[in-house]
Structure 1
Amino acid sequence: MFINTIKKYIEKFNLFQKGDRVLLGISGGLDSVVLLEVLYLLKKDYELKLFVSHYDHKIRKDSLEDASFVYKLCKEKNIPFFYTAASVPAYAKREKLSLEMAGRELRYNLWFNLAKKYDFQKIALAHHLDDLAEEIFMKLIRGTGKRGLAGIPIKREELIVRPFLFVTKEEIRKFALEKNLNWREDYTNKDLRFLRNKIRHILIPFLEKHFNKNIKKNIKKTALIIAEEEELIEEFAKKKFEEIKFYIDRDLSLKLHELKQIPSVLRRRIYFIVFQKVGIPIFRITYKHLESLENLVIKRVKGPVYLPGGFLAYRGPGYITFTQKVFSFPYFAIKIETEGEYSLPTKQKLKIFKIKNQEKLNLPNSMIFSAEKLTFPFVIRKRKPGDRIFWPPIGHKKLKKFLWEKEIPSYLRENVLVIEHINKIIGVWNLYIHPEYKVKKDTKEVIVLQII
């Protein structure tokens, strides 16, 4: 009966495709042990290839015993096993996060990286209806929009799937007892210092006793309706995102005019797609972050908007760009004496090479000069006070004024790369090339500068 129920949800929400390589997040607790058992029993039906990831949070002294327990389960079933350990308390302290938030962030980062490295089509997690109810109440307490009322999605970014989302903890326990399964108990699940545990052990039982004993079933009905609506909105958002995205160097950007025309409900979904694409930790995003992004788009607020994980969003001429926080470097000047690769303070490399002008180029993050004009040696350096560029017909213009006219945000101007030849500026990275150094039709050879 339980197996058939799970199959129904797998097929209704199209959670697996035949032949999928599936990574299971297995802690060793009741829910994840049952998930492992169920998908092991169903793997022939969907031709699944199963793999297991266990994350040791280093919170409990006996955490290694959990890992050993999961390893033995995998060995019995001949399932490949990934073991990862990291101190969640240390990470939480460093990033100023709660233990729960820190653990979740580290786990999801690990799973996404494993999926990318080993070509997993799905990541299966054991969240169930009780978890869904707890998540909804947590978001209501902290403040949420309609997206939050959906709680935990049954499917996320076509990668994460939750086959148990609409079955209760009691149904899972009943199946485990029928199958004589063993599991590990985590005493931190009863620690009332955590908000989730307060909701689980105090709030929900109180509501069931004094208001409605079927509150979880009612949440399930509402969540199912919202989940279907969310899936439709998400598809619209993905389509719009593909239409308005582009890249400046390696930074993901959105076309501002088109973004403004999109209803705010879709804009917010597009922000979340961006967060996922660039690696911004979604769990740390708050309403305040979304409101700040809206102000950046609609109200011409200069910004930048600082986002979790060391990222920021800023407004340029006709676009919004999402990038990792820019740190100012001390003055530097690198003498370029020959072709090859040179290290920049940004931890990137600058590649210098020559090619014939006739060769077609489509190189990202590069600049091209006439090799007949730009000869060795030349200098790549940081801008400095008093820098001027040649600007016909007025003669010269201060670089500071040029960057202001180009609407380069002040916090990005400090690290602009300058190309200097024979004591004059002949290039400003991706913004300016001295007229004499530009590639023309009769130019035979070009010199390429590319950041890699």
Structure 2
Amino acid sequence: MDATNQNTYRFINKIKSYMISCKMVEEGETILAAVSGGADSVCMLLVLDALSKQMRFSLAALHVNHGIREEAGEDAEFVEKLCKKYQIPFYLEQIDVPKIVSESGQTEEEAGRIARYKVLLERAEAIGASHIAVAHHMNDQAETFILNLCRGSGIRGLSGIKPVRDKIIRPLLCAGRNEIEEYLGMCGESFVTDRTNLEDDHTRNRIRHHVLPMLNDMVNSGSNKHIFEAAGMLREIEDYLEEEAREIVLIKKLKADNIDINSLREYKPLLQKYILMEILGTVIPHRINVSRYQIDSLFKMCQSTSGCEKTYFEGGIYAKREYNKLYIGKEKLDLSKEEKTGNPLPEILFKEFEVAEKFEELQQRIPREAYTKWFDYDKILSSPSLRYRKVGDRISIDSDGHGKSLKKYMIDERIPASRRDSIPLLCDGENIMWVIGYRMSSAYQISEETRHILEVSVFF
């Protein structure tokens, strides 16, 4: 066996060992590979094709055209020809990401990712594929680690990309980008280059092009590998703490509607937070949007010595402490459907998230729509509620705290008197946050100090 064949064999065997250790696929199952045509996904497809004979699984490929780049059609043709060459079943899906962005307000990157996984899952179900393979590699893991570290993530974020998550598997996560390119060179296979990956428009690209090369060149040439290993160790720690918390909740019979704070304090602070996370997850389905901010808020409530305390989170979730008891639950917001006007109030959707970008970048993302607004979540003192105007209402109109009566504001805006009683108001207690369809209060606008944002969307 010559040197080239030895190296290709060694690389394929490395991926095989990683797949086996992570229990990615069983004999007789089908893998649907997401293939963009880039070096990473082409390498993954070739390796999976070689391993499908050894490990006895079936393989198919899906290419997703996002409708963003003019050359995307050429990428699809490239992948189709590649699959034909290796006799791999090929599927093509078209999605209109620019349209999704305009309708949802999501970033292009976020909209593309969500839509891409949606069609992957749909196609996998249609063909009976038990797994979806995506081509994340060691460098992607390092980028994710640094990105989450700089955003203030906890252990879960620093544990990075998981090798297996539900149906998603990542066979190349143990391989570096240089290994991938070397393998393709040995195979003599070409690939396409997405020009957007060469730009510095996204934070992840800037980490890829500048931060990681500096770490490898000026700190340690094995930085990517060491970050990958650290993420793996943190993932083991995270799994252990979650399992410990789960057992304690079961043994102590801790329930969201009646938590004995004294029982909670028997454990170390870190474990207390994981117990609270486990309990909160029983109130929020699938632990969607359970944030570090929420867990820290619950933990501080449990450490407090004051008599009673109550706080609200996104989606009507509340936490209430009464002496040595903590209660977590979900209550309907104060959205009565009729008031003196007889007009029904609109539906409302809340979404809370932590600030991750610089203020300048954040400003570009602020919704400009009439019925979606962003508020500084930390300035909201009670559960936001909807109502109509009443005597004495005032609204803050500038950053210095100056205000004017709601009546005067409506006159200045030339809102007809016949409509004033039917304009819904979003309120924080008695304070007006937003005259819906018009302006929001300056008291709740985001600033450079903002750390948590509440997005509110209204539907009539």
| 1:29 and 1:185 in contact (8 A); partners too | yes
What RMSD over aligned residues (CA atoms) do the two structures have, in Å? 4.1
1:63-74 counterparts in 2 under 5 A? Answer: 63-74=72-83
SS of match in other structure, 1:51: strand
Give aligned pairs, total: 322
What residue is the counterpart of 2:358 in the other structure?
none
What is aligned with 1:202?
Answer: 210
Post-superposition Cα deviations, 1:48-95, rounded to whole Å, max 9, x if no partner, equal: 122323222222111122223223333444444443322323433444
What SS does structure 1 have at the residue aligned with 2:192? coil
Q: Equivalences for 1:24-39 in 2 at 5 Å? A: 24-39=33-48
Tell me which amino acid in the other structure corresponds to 1:205: P
Give the drift of 1:330: 5.9
Partners of 1:274 and 1:20 in 2: how far apart? 35
Return the letter of the residue paired with 2:40: D
2:160 & 2:226 partners in 1: Cα distance? 13
The one-letter amino acid paired with 2:60 is F
Match of 2:60 among 43, 46, 51: 51
Contact 2:256 2:279 in 1 (8 A): no
Give the alignment's TM-score, normalised by structure 1.
Answer: 0.59
| Identical columns (%) | 32
What is aligned with 2:155? 146
- CA separation in 1, counterparts of 2:172 and 2:187? 17
Structure 1 unpaired stretches of 5+ = 246-252, 332-344, 347-408, 413-452
Which amino acid in 2 is paired with 1:72? K
CA contact (8 A) 1:244 1:258 kept: no
Q: CA separation in 1, counterparts of 2:82 and 2:330?
A: 43
State the Cα distance separating 1:183 from its structure 2 match: 1.4
Which residue of the other structure, out of 171, 174, 187, is the alignment partner of 1:166? 174
- In the alignment, the residues of structure 2 paired with residue 218 and residue 112 of structure 1 have an alpha-carbon distance, to the nearest angstrom, of 32
TM-score of the aligned structures, taking structure 2 as reference length: 0.58
Task: Report the Cα distance in structure 1 between the residues aligned to 2:53 and 2:93, rounded to whole angstroms.
Answer: 28
Within a 5 Å distance, the mapping from 1:113-152 to structure 2 comes to: 113-115=122-124, 119-152=128-161
- Structure 2 counterpart of 1:257, which letter? I
| Residue 24 (structure 1) shift | 1.7
Instruction: Say if 2:155 and 2:238, in contact at 8 Å, map to a contact too.
Output: no
CA distance in 1, matches of 2:201, 2:108: 11
Partner of 1:87: 96
Cα distance change of structure 1 residues 329 and 288 upon mapping to structure 2, 3 Å threshold? same
Q: Does the residue aligned with 2:62 lie in a helix, a strand or coil?
A: strand
Structure 2: which 5+ runs fail to align? Answer: 1-9, 265-270, 339-345, 348-382, 387-460
Q: Hey, what's the Cα distance between the residues in 1 that align with 2:185 and 2:13?
A: 17
Aligned to 2:22, which of 10, 13, 17? 13
1:337-376 paired onto structure 2 within 5 Å: none
* Shift of residue 195, structure 1, vs aligned partner: 0.5
- Distance in 1 between the 2:195 and 2:84 partners? 26
Q: Does the 8 Å CA contact 1:135/1:152 hold for their aligned counterparts?
A: yes
Q: Is the 8 A contact 1:254 1:321 kept in 2?
A: yes
Matches of 2:62 and 2:219, distance apart in 1: 40
CA offsets 1:220-245 (integer angstroms, 9 cap, x no match): 33223223333444555677899999
Q: How does 1:116-265 map to 2 (within 5 A)?
A: 119-157=128-166, 159-235=167-243, 257=259, 261=264, 263-265=272-274
Distance in 1 between residues matched to 2:188 and 2:123, nearest whole Å: 31
1:221–1:91 distance in 2 versus 1, CA, 3 Å: same
Distance 1:326 1:120 in 2: 42
Distance 1:272 1:136 in 2: 24
C-alpha displacement of 1:149 = 1.6
Equivalent residues in 2 for 1:272-291, closer than 5 Å: 277=286, 280=288, 287-288=292-293, 290-291=295-296
Q: Do the aligned partners of 2:30 and 2:128 also contact (CA within 8 Å) in 1?
A: yes
Letter in 2 for 1:33: V
Give the letter for the 1:3 counterpart. Answer: I
The answer to whether the Cα contact below 8 Å between 1:295 and 1:301 also exists between their aligned partners in 2 is no
1:219: how far off?
A: 1.3
The code of the aligned residue for 2:212 comes to I
8 Å CA contact retained: 1:35, 1:126: yes
C-alpha spacing 1:65/1:142, structure 2 compared with 1 (3 Å): same
The match for 2:277 is 268
Maintained 8 Å contact 2:63/2:91: yes
Instruction: Say whether the 8 Å CA contact 2:145–2:231 is kept in structure 1.
Output: no
Contact 1:292 1:305 (C-alpha < 8 Å) held by counterparts: no
